[in-house]
Chain A
Amino acid sequence: MSGSTDRQGSDAVVVGAGIVGAACAYYASRAGLSVTVLERGTVGSGTTSRGEGNILVSDKAPGPELDLALWSRALWGELGGELGTDAIELDEKGGLVVATTALDPLLAFADGQRAAGVEAVPVPSGGLRDLEPHLAADLPGGVHYPQDLQVQPVLAAAALVRAAQSRGARLEQGVEVTGVERDGSGAVTAVLASGRRFPTRTVVNAAGTWGSEVAERLGGPVPVLPRRGFILVTEPLPRVVRHKVYSADYVENVASSDAGLETSVVVEGTRGGSVLVGASRERVGFDTAMSVDVVRRLATQAVRLFPFLADVALMRLYRGFRPYCPDHLPVIGADPRVPGLVHACGHEGAGIGLAPATGRLVTQQLTGQQYGVDPQPFSPSRFAEVPA
């Protein structure tokens, strides 16, 4: 094909400059690899900018994703030190999960999490308002998760990319990947994007919600699908909500495979003053249409937890597409069909929280170092169409 060849070449080409691609570039360049990041839009312009900046352990049941989340949470703490907690608005606010009907299932869930290393402190009904004074008085109780954090995801992605660039990584924005070149053995030799050729032996698919399409172009398809989520934004308020507060049915909805609309409210403050109200999930492809029904349901559930919100105006809303795999685990690891192709996508609503651990896992794969957690559950080999 025609077009220019990047003469320099790279140890790794990362596709996507969302939070996951940014973390991959950060850790790979820190490990001494030369990295080129190819981004179709701009840094953090996809799903990274359409969520709430959740770094949660509270919503995860014991298992591989919780192990990854606990590790990643610790890495976020380190990143705060390296990038500046203020610069990325990293806030150790903690989570408060409240039951709106029965409390026992939530307490049982927390027992299991505690056994897996999560700090989970039961809060009786009468103690809820010590933590959150504006909560409704008639809620049956909840669980406090001090380890939950919040970060401003676009600032964090930009800071990670900048830090990678300071170690020699290159960022190409407005560049769309179209395919790969492979040698006689099938191994990757270059990534093709927007008429240009980027020589490399390794390409990392960090395309998030579009990871399935990019995987297809790179020769190793994986099943990543969009799940639409709305977030409501209130007018600016003083500090009215201290924690990330959500109703216990959020956990159930995240894990659900129902195609219909599911809403379970998540309420939290921001540094800017607006309160954010999430989170809905529906499988409607890449349809961005506004839905009054979703707004009404989220607003009603938010007022159920925080009655004062009834009198507060919504300024706007935004929506995005959470990239999910059928088994609700991200795809992280080498693709056995295409030597040199490594996937790092499909994190659903947990991509911000899981990004540092994902970047670490990918980098360890590239450098042959020890893994921080067992990578096997996240391997693309788990999908039927991928040979082990």
Chain B
Amino acid sequence: MSAPTTITFDGHEIPFLPGQTVGAALTAAGIRSWRTTRVEGRPRGLFCGIGVCFDCLIVADDRPNQRACLLLAQNGMRLASQEGTGRAHLTV
């Protein structure tokens, strides 16, 4: 029997297959955007899909700016939408 394979995104459980990236799992679950841009708050998700464009940034286990297209999904990983820089708490 294989281990249960789910991640959570903004509190919702999302299934994934072994070897799948966070970006692939979210997209397979019908979720296409998980970040808003810094200046205009526009939605972003996968664009290049190969780690180059930095459009698909996501907060993973409280770390902002992780590339969903490269990040391998792991059981129990907590993902959250990222607003802007993902570090608004640092604003002075």
Q: Do A and B belong to a common assembly?
A: yes
Where the two chains meet, the residues of A that have a C-beta atom closer than 8 Å to any C-beta of B are 132-134, 235-242, 273, 308, 312-313
B87 touches A237 (CB 8 A): yes
A132 to B92, CA, bound (A): 8
Which residues on B sit within 8 Å (CB–CB) of A237? 85, 87, 90
Give, as a whole number of angstroms, the nearest-CB distance from B43 to chain A.
Answer: 18
Give, as a whole number of angstroms, the nearest-CB distance from A276 to chain B.
Answer: 16
Given contacts A273-B38, A273-B85, contact A240 B90 (CB under 8 A): yes
Interface string of B50-92 (1 = CB under 8 A from A): 0000000000000001000000000000000000110110111
Q: What is the interface of chain B mostly: helix, strand, loop, or mixed?
A: loop
A237 to B92, CA, bound (A): 11
Given contacts A273-B38, A308-B90, contact A238 B65 (CB under 8 A): no
Which residues on A sit within 8 Å (CB–CB) of B65? 235, 313
Give, as a whole number of angstroms, the nearest-CB distance from A236 to chain B.
Answer: 5
A134 touches B90 (CB 8 A): yes
Give, as a whole number of angstroms, the nearest-CB distance from A136 to chain B.
Answer: 15
Q: Which of A238, A239, A241, A273 has the most CB of B within 10 A?
A: A238
Chain B residues bordering chain A, tally (CB within 8 A):
9
Contact of B92 among A133, A236, A312, A313 (CB under 8 A): A133
Give, as a whole number of angstroms, the nearest-CB distance from B14 to chain A.
Answer: 25
Nearest B residue to A241 via CB reads B92
Q: What is the interface of chain A mostly: helix, strand, loop, or mixed?
A: loop
A132 to B38, CA, bound (A): 23
Which residues on A sit within 8 Å (CB–CB) of B92? 132-134, 239-242
A242 to B90, CA, bound (A): 12
A236 touches B38 (CB 8 A): yes
27 pairs, CB–CB < 8 Å, chain A vs chain B: A132-B92, A134-B90, A134-B92, A235-B65, A235-B85, A236-B38, A236-B85, A237-B85, A237-B87, A237-B90, A238-B84, A238-B85, A238-B87, A238-B88, A238-B90, A238-B91, A239-B91, A239-B92, A240-B90, A240-B91, A240-B92, A241-B92, A242-B92, A273-B38, A273-B85, A308-B90, A312-B87
A312 to B85, CA, bound (A): 11
A90 to B71, CA, bound (A): 39
Give, as a whole number of angstroms, the nearest-CB distance from B66 to chain A.
Answer: 10
Which residues on B sit within 8 Å (CB–CB) of A134? 90, 92
Q: Which of B84, B85, B88, B92 has the most CB of A within 10 A?
A: B92
A313 to B65, CA, bound (A): 9
A240 to B84, CA, bound (A): 14
Which residues on A sit within 8 Å (CB–CB) of B88? 238
A132 to B87, CA, bound (A): 17
A273 to B90, CA, bound (A): 12
Nearest B residue to A312 via CB reads B87
Which residues on A sit within 8 Å (CB–CB) of B87? 237-238, 240, 312
Having A241-B92, A242-B92, A312-B87, one finds 15 other A-B pairs with CB under 8 Å, namely A132-B92, A133-B92, A134-B90, A134-B92, A236-B85, A237-B85, A238-B84, A238-B85, A238-B87, A238-B90, A240-B90, A240-B91, A240-B92, A308-B90, A313-B65
Give, as a whole number of angstroms, the nearest-CB distance from A38 to chain B.
Answer: 38
A132 to B90, CA, bound (A): 12
Give, as a whole number of angstroms, the nearest-CB distance from A300 to chain B.
Answer: 20
Which residues on B sit within 8 Å (CB–CB) of A239? 91-92
Which residues on B sit within 8 Å (CB–CB) of A235? 65, 85
